Amino acid sequence: MEFGLEQTIALLVRTPAVLDTLLRDLPDSCVLQDEGENTWSACDVVGHLIHGENTDWMPRAKRILEFGESRPFEPFDRFAHKEKQSEISSMPQLLDEFARLRTENLVHLRALDLQPEDLLRRGLHPALGIVTLSELLATWAAHDLTHLHQISRILAYPYRDAVGPWSRFLGVLHCAGHSAASYRSGNE
Amino acid sequence: MEFGLEQTIALLVRTPAVLDTLLRDLPDSCVLQDEGENTWSACDVVGHLIHGENTDWMPRAKRILEFGESRPFEPFDRFAHKEKQSEISSMPQLLDEFARLRTENLVHLRALDLQPEDLLRRGLHPALGIVTLSELLATWAAHDLTHLHQISRILAYPYRDAVGPWSRFLGVLHCAGHSAASYRSGNE
């Protein structure tokens, strides 16, 4: 096991509060703005995190523990939140829903009382093949951080001209996201 | 003016609380860890933000308003916080100091009661040449976001192997920072 489960949970616990502190009550112009065609706003990102809480992390952890490699995960649709936007549309509602689901999921995760041997158990990802429970939980935390990284970039986007010659010193203005092309169109 | 001053202040106000929520009481292994040789830890980043509050943003704004282009800014030393680390070393102390200074600086910024014509006033950067007050204030907010972007990357660093095959979907694990080489060794 290459990461500590308690450290991972410490990060997972924080994400809803971090996003709440950063995004609640920001003007709509900030939270609805994206980075151009086919990119996401901060609202889209929180919607995507909500979808992950509902369908990705804990459902997949349970599938590994129940079925091992014999039954692959359901594919995770990265764009499902786009269909949900008519149901939950304001940032405060999105933040409340994300915090509620994350709290519930971490209660369930702790209740599993995972032991080192459980973390080595293997499951079947529909695109990536064999993965372990340890890798899934590490990915949950790193996925939060990928989207915090993305939100900092989205919020900086309106400043790319306004900063004038300082632009070269501001790495966030020159970030294009780094995820594999398959991520942009595929599922996780 | 290509950005709203109130929107910029809304971001600047949030940064200390966002970093506090993300970093306070995380294990030392998280906040002291860096990304390898000649890179920064989260503690280094907060130390750097403190140094900016003390010597960069408001001192430069005041210099523009008092001296215009006739007197260049003092160079900003990106590595000054390394010398200060013996004075303030724990993350809670760093977060407290950053929050205190940011609050003071925003009180001073609001007290200037800047008008649109003030934002067009010009100053002299020792390396970049002519800059405007508007550009300086936009850079202050974008600089916060650059370092939030960096901290999300630093915290994700220990997960780069632990996530297994999911790595390709996690952009934060593939980010190298994007700032110009001159930034790494020079001053802002």
ipTM of the complex: 0.92
DSSP state of A187: B
Q: How many CB atoms lie within 10 A of CB A97?
A: 20
DSSP state of B165: G
**Average pLDDT taken over every residue of chain A:** 90
Burial class (CB in 10 A: 0-12, 13-18, 19+), B127: middle
Query: Both tokens of residue A35?
Result: 């980075």
Handedness of CA B178, B181, B184, B188 (dihedral sign): negative
- Inform me whether the C-beta atom of residue A164 falls under 8 Å from chain B C-beta atoms: yes
The pLDDT, as a whole number, for residue A34 is 94
For B:67-96, CB contacts with A below 8 A are none
Lookup result for tokens 């689901």: A101
Strand partners, A129: A125
Q: Which residue of B has its CA nearest to A164?
A: B135
pLDDT, averaged in runs of 10, over chain B (188 residues): 80 98 94 92 96 96 97 84 67 97 98 96 96 98 97 95 95 78 44
The pLDDT, as a whole number, for residue B188 is 58
| CB-based contact A5:A137 (threshold 8 Å) | yes
Query: Both tokens of residue A20?
Result: 């709440």
| CB-based contact B121:B132 (threshold 8 Å) | yes
In this prediction, residues A43-72 reach a mean pLDDT of: 96
The pLDDT, as a whole number, for residue A81 is 73
For A:120-159, CB contacts with B below 8 A are 125, 128-129, 131-132, 134-136, 138-139, 141-143, 145-146, 148-150, 152-153, 155-156, 158-159
- Inform me whether the C-beta atom of residue B32 falls under 8 Å from chain A C-beta atoms: no
Between CA A178 and CA A29 the distance in angstroms is 25
Strand partners, A187: A77
pTM: 0.92
The pLDDT, as a whole number, for residue B186 is 42
Tell me: the pLDDT tens digits for A90-105? 999 999 999 999 999 9
Smallest Cβ distance to B175: which of A11, A149, A183? Answer: A149
